[in-house]
């Protein structure tokens, strides 16, 4: 694996990043059912290349707390601004309805950052999880959450709703945290959040994600993995950073599938319970595979 920090940006995507457009009767039927209810998934809105595969596995990602983020990370294309405290409380029922329409077995709930709210959105997040548990107790719920500014009261609020997995993304190595992430986000806060959930709710699986291709070195990746292992993080995913627009950070280089496999081996050797690693892997991609992995080990879910 290369370790150069200064590699010329490659504008043309390699062949392994090219995927077929999703299709098939089941995909179209599900999409039309969602449209009829005015519901949308992150999978669609973010143009995720894995949408067909995930939907066929009855897995999807839903974003709550609106579409406007109060932070402005340099890798993300979500709209930024100040929602001024607005919350659409219909999201609670709508998200539960989406689970039924799609026949989901596994749902990932994520959100924008809401620094404009007194609790940073923690209670609304917990209410959505609780409603899904009430209406669809058979469905596994994973949450990909903001850091809630590391305030334990708000983290307790979220965790008491009892999701199966709590994910908080480290995103990149320590040296690149800024400028990659918004100034209000920090490497240390994410680590402490993951530590908090594992220490206080050990039955809940913790998860994080790293993007590569931003100029990090292999040693820096290993350092991040060691830090994550130290706070008890269970799952790690690795994916290729892809530049949303010319306003966002440049891609320093593309990692090959073989290099992603190397990262997977390194992470497993360091004790992570489950690793998803590949050019098109995103934080919620292969989420359901963790259940398959556990069941193969005889764990009852």
Three-state SS for 66-98 is: CCEECCCCCCCCCEECCCCCCCCCCHHHHHHHH
pLDDT at 7: 35
What residues does 210 pair with on adjacent strands?
A: 171, 238
User: How sure is the predictor about 255, in pLDDT bands with cuts at 50, 70 and 90?
Assistant: very high
pLDDT at 5: 37
- Give the domains, in start order, of the chain with CATH numbers: 38-296 (3.20.20.70)
Q: Which letter does DSSP use for residue 175 in this model?
A: G
Q: Which letter does DSSP use for residue 171 in this model?
A: B
Residue 140 parent element (H or E): strand 140-144
Question: Does this model's pTM top 0.75?
Answer: yes
Give tens-digit pLDDT for 47-72: 566 666 666 667 778 889 988 899 99
The residue written with tokens 């994973």 in the block is: 142
Give tens-digit pLDDT for 19-39: 665 555 566 666 676 666 665
CB atoms within 10 A of CB 183: 11
pLDDT at 4: 39
**Do residues 180 and 171 touch, judged by C-beta distance below 8 A?**
yes
CA angle 288, 291, 296 (to 5 degrees): 135
Which has the higher per-residue pLDDT, 295 or 4? 295
Tokens of residue 104, six digits: 């989901």
- Does residue 192 carry a pLDDT above 70? yes
Cα–Cα distance for residue pair 155/81, rounded to 1 Å: 24
Cα–Cα distance for residue pair 54/292, rounded to 1 Å: 14
DSSP reduced 3-state for 165: strand
Tokens of residue 130, six digits: 């609780």
* DSSP string computed for 203-251: TSEEEEEEEE-SS--HHHHHHHHHHHHHTT--EEEEEE---SSTTSPPP
Cα–Cα distance for residue pair 58/289, rounded to 1 Å: 12
**Average pLDDT over the chain, rounded to an integer:** 87
Tokens of residue 118, six digits: 């007194």
Cα–Cα distance for residue pair 143/284, rounded to 1 Å: 9
């Amino acid at each position: 694996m290369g370790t150069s920090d200064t590699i010329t940006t490659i504008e043309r995507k390699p062949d392994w990043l090219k995927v077929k457009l999703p299709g098939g009767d089941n995909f179209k039927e599900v999409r039309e059912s969602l449209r009829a209810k005015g519901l949308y998934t992150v999978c669609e809105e973010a143009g995720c290349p894995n949408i067909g595969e995930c939907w066929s596995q009855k897995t999807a990602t839903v974003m709550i707390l609106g579409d406007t983020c109060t932070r402005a990370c340099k890798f993300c294309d979500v709209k930024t601004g100040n929602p001024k405290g607005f919350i659409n409380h219909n999201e609670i029922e709508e998200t539960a309805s989406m689970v039924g329409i799609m026949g989901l077995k596994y749902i990932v709930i994520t959100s924008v950052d809401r620094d404009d709210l007194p609790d940073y959105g923690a209670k609304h997040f917990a209410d959505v999880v609780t409603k899904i548990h009430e209406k669809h107790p058979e469905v596994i719920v994973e949450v990909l959450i903001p850091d809630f500014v590391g305030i334990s009261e708000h983290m307790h609020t979220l965790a008491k709703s009892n999701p199966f997995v709590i994910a908080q993304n480290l995103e990149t190595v320590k040296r690149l945290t800024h400028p990659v992430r918004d100034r209000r986000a920090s490497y240390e806060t994410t680590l402490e959040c993951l530590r908090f959930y594992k220490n206080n709710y050990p039955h809940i699986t913790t998860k994080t994600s790293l993007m590569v291709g931003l100029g990090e070195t292999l040693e820096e990746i290993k350092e991040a993995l060691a830090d994550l292992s130290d706070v008890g993080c269970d799952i790690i995913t690795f994916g290729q950073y892809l530049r949303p627009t010319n306003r966002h950070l440049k891609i320093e280089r593309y990692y090959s599938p073989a290099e992603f496999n190397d990262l997977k081996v390194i992470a497993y050797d360091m004790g992570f319970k489950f690793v998803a690693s590949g050019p098109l892997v995103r934080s919620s991609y292969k989420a359901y595979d963790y259940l398959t992995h556990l069941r193969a080990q005889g764990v009852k879910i």
